[in-house]
Structure 1
Amino acid sequence: MAGIAATSRPSPVITRSPLEVDMPQRPKRLTPSRGPLDLFGSEVRRYRTMAGLSLAQLAEQIPYAPSTIGEIERGESGCDRGFAEDCDRVLDTRDALAHLHDGLFDGRSAAYPAWFADWPEYEGQAETLRAYEPLVIYGLLQTPGYADVLLYGDQKAVQARMERQGVLSRKEPLPPRLIYLLPERVLRSRVGTLAVMYEQLHHLADAVSPRLSVQVIPDGAPHPGNSGAFVVATLPGDSRIAYAASEPQGRILDGRSDVERLNERFADIATYALPADLSAALIREIADEAWKS
């Protein structure tokens, strides 16, 4: 209002005690029973805490960033054996972490993202695998050259994928029965060179056996398989678990309704697929027509 001088009040000053200002973020509670990543991470954190080191202090003595160490401790990321050896040296664990790493991962965990790390174990237990992959050849049936392109030359990841394939050729116990469905367009989608594709398609056709069925959905056949790749594993006792691919990361599903929904979708998709013998013939035909140099 005119003629009246405006006055202002000072802003209130909010003070906090030193404890409130400096209190560190409470660390995530770990559940080692959830899986090998959580178990290994909890042991890294335990030994680090016993040594009286912060993440930053440990990072100063090993070639890993504090954020990386934190992810490993929280079970959000795998690591190679070298990380365990470096921690053993600094934390004076008498090789406890390297020994634990060997037992949990057999040298393979670093090649798998955290959300996938438990799936190879389920593959190994499975009596039947039902896989649908609409974009690329299914990982258990990829050649090294094809996998190398998809994994951007990461040799550790390629080797881990090749090692996973051992589940299909083992003698004892019997390998799981694999039923694999794919659209024809996957066979015509180039990954790498002509030679890579030619080798991959013949490898796929040659893989067909009494325990391994590859069935192609011909181009133009409408089907309900447009929501992404998935695998349903039937375990001993007729229980089921599934892995569903998605962005930015896949998921392992153990909820009964989710798994049964995927199992039913697989059955629906399969009604549009060619029999295994006709599929193998089509795969070889496409290899020779489209990819033979």
Structure 2
Amino acid sequence: MTHINALDPGASPLDYYGFELRRHREVAGLTQRQLGDILNYTGSLVGQIETARKLPTQEFSERADIALDTGGLLSRLVGLVMRTQLPAWFQQVAELQARAAGIYSFEAYMVHGLVQTKAYARAVLGVLDQSNLDDRTAVRLARRSIFEKVEPPVFWLVLGEGALYQEIGDREAMREQLAHLLSFEANPLVNVQVLPFSAGSHAGMQGSFDLYRFANDPTIVYTEGYGSGHPTANPDTVKDCSLRYDHLQAAALSLKDSAELIRRVMEDRYGEQLA
């Protein structure tokens, strides 16, 4: 266990966050319990965050910034904290996603991590490994903050129809997840197309992949294996995957028809059922 007096703010962004939280709390003349009461959290949680034993959330950070008059410091830090809690092999990918002007994804079997709900993400991450599941889920959800930037990326998802039927979590989790996809219908920056079963053989049969496009840098193709990620800017690979993506978009349903299919599956398969 890290003792608070020995906390090194230079050890990691999480340690720095804890150090700053403690410093601002003490300047305000509050105990951990008193701050917890103000924030509607326990004093124990405040202590765990101050000693880098618990990850802060965006909500906690925003409340603490207001209560401690930090000028938004903790809210600015929490994104960095979350990113450095990602698996080492994925941290570069998260950085690419954060810098990209456009993210174009083909997902054959499940909803992309950037648009997963809490229950869906928890079910995905909890397969074979329940350790630190709350924190790992929070870290994944924190990646969605890229859509809240002043200039958010365009996100385009071509999603295999099978992902609508693969029950990840339970029926309620799936209903919530599909409803979340539908929530982007009026958002021109987040687009979801469904690749229907009727498309038959298609350009994505070799597997899921992402294309990250940047304003001033070369496009990067990202593929993923078990516990490893593979970003590449190889021109031949980028050209091949860009062509594949064009064909996948052409074979997929329109945005309107995709939304109608998602809505129909949500109601027919995961809606309320009479006993």
Q: Given the alignment, which residue of 72, 76, 96 partners 2:10? A: 96
Match of residue 53 from structure 1: none
Q: Does 1:127 align with 2:101?
A: yes
User: Conserved in 2, the CA contact under 8 Å of 1:228 and 1:246?
Assistant: no
Find the structure with the greater CA-based Rg: 1
Amino acid in structure 1 at the alignment position of 2:121? A
1:218 corresponds to which residue?
Answer: 196
Q: TM-score, normalization: structure 1?
A: 0.64
Residue in structure 2 matched with residue 155 of structure 1 by the alignment: 134
Q: 1:98 to 1:248 in 2, by over 3 A?
A: closer
Task: Select 1:201's aligned residue among 149, 174, 178.
Answer: 178
Q: Is the 8 A contact 2:219 2:233 kept in 1?
A: yes
Do the aligned residues in 2 keep the contact of 1:205 with 1:281 (CA within 8 Å)?
no
Judge conservation of contact 2:155–2:189 (CA < 8 Å) in 1: yes
Name the SS of the counterpart of 1:116 in structure 2. helix
Aligned AA (2:166): S
Partner SS for 1:160: helix
Equivalent residue, structure 2, for 1:75: none
**Match status 1:246 vs 2:220:** no
Local SS of the residue matching 2:109: coil
| Distance of 1:250 and 1:237 partners within structure 2 | 23
Aligned amino acid, residue 211 of structure 1: L
Structure 2 spans left out of the alignment, 5+ residues: 17-76
Give the CA deviation at 1:218.
1.1
Q: Secondary structure, in 3 states, of the residue corresponding to 1:233?
A: strand
Look up the SS of the partner of 2:168 in the other structure: coil
For 1:112 and 1:157, locate their aligned partners in 2 and report how far apart those are by CA, in whole Å: 8
The answer to whether the 8 Å contact 2:82/2:142 transfers is no
Structure 2 partner of 1:176: 153
- Using the TM superposition, give the Cα deviation of residue 111 of structure 1 relative to its aligned residue in structure 2, in angstroms: 3.6
CA offset at residue 134 of structure 1? 0.6
Letter in 1 for 2:188: P
Higher-helix-fraction structure: 2
Asked whether the 8 Å contact 2:164–2:265 carries over to 1, the reply is yes
CA distance 1:254–1:100, change in 2 (3 Å): farther
Offset of 1:109 from its aligned partner? 4.5
Q: 1:183 to 1:98 in 2, by over 3 A?
A: closer
Q: Measured at CA, do residues 100 and 160 of structure 1 come closer, stay the same or move farther in structure 2, by a change above 3 Å? A: closer
Counterparts of 1:155 and 1:100, CA distance in 2: 16
Residue in structure 2 matched with residue 270 of structure 1 by the alignment: 249
Contact 1:131 1:179 survives alignment (8 Å): yes
For residues 135 and 250 of structure 1, the distance between their equivalents in structure 2, rounded to whole angstroms, comes to 17
TM-score by length of 2: 0.67
Following the alignment from structure 2 to structure 1, what is the Cα–Cα distance between the partners of residues 138 and 123?
13
Amino acid at match of 1:278: D
Measured on the aligned residues, the alpha-carbon RMSD in Å equals 2.6
Instruction: Identify unmatched segments of 5+ residues in structure 1.
Output: 1-62, 64-81
- Residues of 2 paired with 1:200 and 1:163: CA distance? 17
Alignment length (residue pairs): 205
The alpha-carbon deviation at position 247 of structure 1 amounts to: 3.1
Contact kept in structure 1, 2:118 and 2:141, CA below 8 Å: yes
Find the counterpart in structure 2 of residue 236 from structure 1.
215
